[in-house]
């Protein structure tokens, strides 16, 4: 009954919606929310390091760390089998 009345009034030319301005989060409130969430995550890090049944981590601090390689591979000082013409250098 009430729903039907509301829908009927929306069709009337004199209908004015209750909220005319779209809602947006203010910059101040945005910063406050960000701080709150960061603080909460820092306080409970375990809750944000999800693990699957196989033990693999998804997200959280344990899943985002990347240790650099211990050694970097360089080069081999041998020749390559090639069909490039050879020139013998004289002393």
Partner 1 sequence: MTSPRALADLPFARRPPLELLGLTEDRATVDTTYAGFGWTLVDRLWLDAGGALTRVDDALVLALHAADDGAALADDVELEFELGEVRAIAPLSAFLARWLPRLPTTSSVVLALCNPHHARLPAPAAAAGRPVWYGRGPVDSWLDHAPDHDRLRLVAAAGWHQAHTPTCPEAP
Judged by the rule CB under 8 A, the positions of this chain that interact with partner 1 are 68-82, 84-91
Helix (H/G/I), strand (E/B), else coil: 33? helix
Closest distance to partner 1 from the beta carbon of 67 (Å): 10
CB of 63 to partner 1, least distance (A): 21
- In the complex with partner 1, the residue whose CB is nearer, 65 or 76, is 76
Q: How far is the CB of 29 from partner 1 (least distance, A)?
A: 43
Contact 16, 32 (CB under 8 A): no
- Radius of gyration for the chain, computed over Cα atoms and rounded to the nearest angstrom: 34
If the CB atoms of residues 65 and 70 are measured against partner 1, the closer one turns out to be 70
Q: How far apart are CA 27 and CA 30, in angstroms?
A: 5
Q: Which is nearer to partner 1, 4 or 85 (CB)?
A: 85
């Amino acid at each position: 009954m009430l729903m039907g009345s509301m829908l009927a009034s929306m069709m009337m030319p004199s209908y004015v919606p209750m909220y005319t301005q779209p809602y947006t989060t203010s910059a101040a409130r945005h910063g406050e929310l960000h701080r709150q969430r960061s603080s909460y995550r820092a306080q409970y890090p375990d809750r944000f390091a999800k693990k699957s049944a196989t033990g693999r981590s998804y997200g959280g601090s344990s899943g985002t760390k990347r240790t650099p390689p211990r050694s970097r591979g360089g080069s081999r000082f041998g020749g390559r089998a090639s069909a490039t013409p050879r020139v013998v250098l004289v002393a």
